Structure 1
Amino acid sequence: MGKVIVLGAGVVGLSTALELVQRGHEVDIVARHLPGDIDIEYTSPFAGANWSSFAETDEEQEWDKLGYEKLLEIAKTEPGASVWAKRSLNYNREPAPRLASVVKDLRILPENELIPGTHCGFEYTSIVISVGTYLAYLSQKLMAAGVVIRRAHVAHIKDVASYYTKGTPEVIVNCSGLLARKLGGVEDKAVYPIKGQILLIRNNCSTLLSVSGTEGPDEEAFYIFPRKEGGGIIGGSYVPNDWSADISEGFIERTKQKVAKYCPELLEEGPLDIYKAVVGLRPGREGGVRIEKETIPGVGNVVHNYGCGGCGYQNSHGMAIKTAKLVEEFLKK
């Protein structure tokens, strides 16, 4: 059993803390932003939070596989987590999804089932998560296990240990996400924001829908994800190195047109009911996710875990497992 403090309370930080607790370690969390907060620097509340593999490396594919299996299990056994197994329709992507051997109920769509304006498609059982409820679910499990969660602005990584309530921490786990770029003692300039904009709607849809290569600026996708409690979200834009919280009216108008074109059934019960447009910043990183050990003079043993871009929810379990193993390598010494 080791003494560990986690910096960061996004989905990656919370999931990593829970993995460590379940392995028997004494864990606390300190974070600038906590579940329930809405802030442009706090990515997790703005996520679409579906499962859809875009993994390139073998390790990333393994994280996706672990995430898919774990989230399916939570969907079956933890109804209060608001994790939902739902049919996912995907158009204009490769003929079959990555990890085709892993996903359930995979079916290639015949030509007569394609929606107008698309040239290929497939469906399978995917996962979608109501992010606010899920973050609260993780927090509650942690607090029930004795984890103290503290709110604080930590300017330098050397200050993290002072927030540990169980003695002196043996390892600090840095899950600071986008803020790793600004965190003293780390200041990882490879980290950059990937701006995304979504629309929150009251209209109900029965499936996840994603259409790649639609009209609009480069890297602008179109997707609709339902929420278990009703309503859903529509996205989404993908703009690297944009720190602004500005809402794009052009994006809103383009998205309305795409709804009418690709998902007219969403409008069968009435017009599109948008109750909020929001912007979030995904924590991108040149060179990919950073999960590695480092001994920092004046700080001690640190394991970094950040930079997953838009894959935080589906990768969080796999990333947590790798991070926990590195923590335990430090503890064995």
Structure 2
Amino acid sequence: MAYIVVIGAGVIGLQTALTLLEAGYKVSIVAKYLPGDEAGMYTSPWAGAIWRTHATAEQKETCEWDLASYAEWIKATEEDGGVEGVRMGIERRQIRVYSSKPTPSLDSPSLWFAPHVQSFRTLAADEIPTAAKSGIAYDGIAVNPLKYLAYLLRRVKELGGYVIQGELPVGAGLAEAVRTAAQLVSAERKGRRGEEAANEAVDIDAIVNCTGLGAATLCNDEALFPIRGQTLLVRFAASPPPKRILLSESEDGAVTYVIPRPGTDLWVFGGTKTKGVWDVEVNERIGEQILDRCLGLLGREGEGVEVLGKQVGLRPGREGGVRVEVEVVDLSVGGLGDGEGKSKGMVVVHQYGHAGAGYQNAVGSARKVLGLLGEALGTSTKAV
């Protein structure tokens, strides 16, 4: 089976590697950051991480991606007493979404997902905060990002995938990054199989580029931009609220959310969505505003709430939406494939720009990559 190198180990890269392994491909991951690392540019650990679609009804493929994750996650929380869901770090929780707009009709395009989620309903007037005009509820999913990323990494290794932590020269362009990835894979092979493997050609069949915001430099993609998100990690010292996911949208587009962190007694308060801002330093004033908004959403005072952490992450936004497509890059690939330094067309599948929807897009987006690789390489794959 073909040998694929996935660049990047956020939720998109890890899910893609897992999907390819399940389909029978050989896979290595090369990434600067791995689960457990803390960096503002490593977005996935900082996510609020819930299932709530951002897709519009016209974005058919993205809708399908979101529903793929929903179906897989709901299944994991239901089968065998939800054991797999616990391993994954996910919990099924009611989500309530409050809006400053009147309640749309059930056949409105904005509620395209209503027939596909469980226990959907509109909220009664006495269930809606006074600052909102309408609300909906359904069975959603809360995700513990640290546990979920660790789960994906563990599954990748269990299925024979290899993980190499190393920094690629993204500023030197895609071709040089691919060459460096090949060198890292070759060195890893040498260490794993002994000296006899040192001079073996690393026959990489394709690269999957899951570098998020890093693709702005790697691919010279000017459509990419950061969406700064700041959150708080809190604990309720006494009388914690019901473990629902609460989300409120105001007329100016601001979003306030309160999310229980699965497997813990912690909560995430958020948040911000500031386009075009690269600053990863915590802004104390914004943190205070987030705390006030979230306590207001809960109808509580600040007493008994302990702020344990303050986080900032940069979501990979992209004008025009997610890029998932094949590019054949002409490389001088000494040590890649022919071993003679001849020019070769390297299949690169780009997969980045998921903005704040990486977790809920990941399963469906990875399946799209699986199909593209099968077409580009002429390989048959097992259904996943």
Aligned to 1:291: 324
1:128 equivalent to 2:148? Answer no
Q: Which amino acid aligns with 2:304?
A: P
1:88 equivalent to 2:109? Answer no
* CA-CA distance at 1:266 after TM superposition: 8.2
* CA-CA distance at 1:77 after TM superposition: 4.4
Decide whether the 8 Å contact of 2:257 with 2:294 is kept in 1.
no
Corresponding residue SS for 1:288: coil
Decide whether the 8 Å contact of 2:34 with 2:165 is kept in 1.
yes
Q: Closer, same or farther in 2 for the Cα pair 1:266/1:305, shift >3 Å?
A: farther
Q: Structure 2: how far apart are the matches of 1:227 and 1:260? A: 17
Question: Could you tell me which of 243, 258, 269 is aligned with 2:293?
Answer: 258
1:237 equivalent to 2:244? Answer no
Aligned to 1:162: 183
Q: Structure 1: how far apart are the matches of 2:220 and 2:32? A: 16
Q: Which amino acid aligns with 2:275?
A: P
- Please identify the structure whose Cα radius of gyration is greater: 2
Question: Could you tell me which of 226, 231, 245 is aligned with 1:208?
Answer: 245
The aligned length equals: 326
Question: Could you tell me which of 57, 65, 68 is aligned with 1:66?
Answer: 68
Q: Closer, same or farther in 2 for the Cα pair 1:266/1:87, shift >3 Å?
A: farther
Q: Structure 2: how far apart are the matches of 1:139 and 1:256? A: 33
1:223 equivalent to 2:257? Answer yes
Corresponding residue SS for 1:34: coil
Decide whether the 8 Å contact of 1:28 with 1:164 is kept in 2.
yes
1:149 equivalent to 2:156? Answer no
Question: Could you tell me which of 260, 276, 279 is aligned with 2:309?
Answer: 276
After the TM superposition, which of the residue ranges 285-294 and 69-78 deviates more from structure 2? 69-78
Show CA shifts across 1:20-59 (max 9, x none): 0000000010001000000011000100110111202011
Q: Closer, same or farther in 2 for the Cα pair 1:67/1:266, shift >3 Å?
A: farther
Show CA shifts across 1:252-290 (max 9, x none): 2222322332203586xx422111111100001111100
Q: Which amino acid aligns with 2:248?
A: V
Higher helix share: 2
Show CA shifts across 1:173-222 (max 9, x none): 00011101122xx22121111001001111244100001007xxx54310
Show CA shifts across 1:81-108 (max 9, x none): 1111101111016546441110100111
Decide whether the 8 Å contact of 2:231 with 2:270 is kept in 1.
yes
1:12 equivalent to 2:12? Answer yes
Q: Report the TM-score, using the length of structure 1 for normalisation.
A: 0.93
Q: Structure 1: how far apart are the matches of 2:300 and 2:96? A: 14
Decide whether the 8 Å contact of 2:269 with 2:291 is kept in 1.
no
Identity between Structure 1 and Structure 2 (%): 34
Q: Structure 2: how far apart are the matches of 1:220 and 1:15? A: 30
Corresponding residue SS for 1:317: helix
Q: Which amino acid aligns with 1:161?
A: A
**Structure 2 residue runs without a partner (length 5+):** 170-175, 190-201, 334-345, 380-384
The 5 Å alignment of 1:169-184 reads 169-183=204-218
Decide whether the 8 Å contact of 1:171 with 1:330 is kept in 2.
no
Corresponding residue SS for 1:154: coil
Decide whether the 8 Å contact of 1:116 with 1:262 is kept in 2.
no
Corresponding residue SS for 2:29: strand
Q: Report the TM-score, using the length of structure 2 for normalisation.
A: 0.81
* CA-CA distance at 1:245 after TM superposition: 1.3
**Structure 1 residue runs without a partner (length 5+):** none
Decide whether the 8 Å contact of 2:270 with 2:294 is kept in 1.
no
Q: Structure 2: how far apart are the matches of 1:163 and 1:144? A: 21
Decide whether the 8 Å contact of 1:88 with 1:209 is kept in 2.
yes
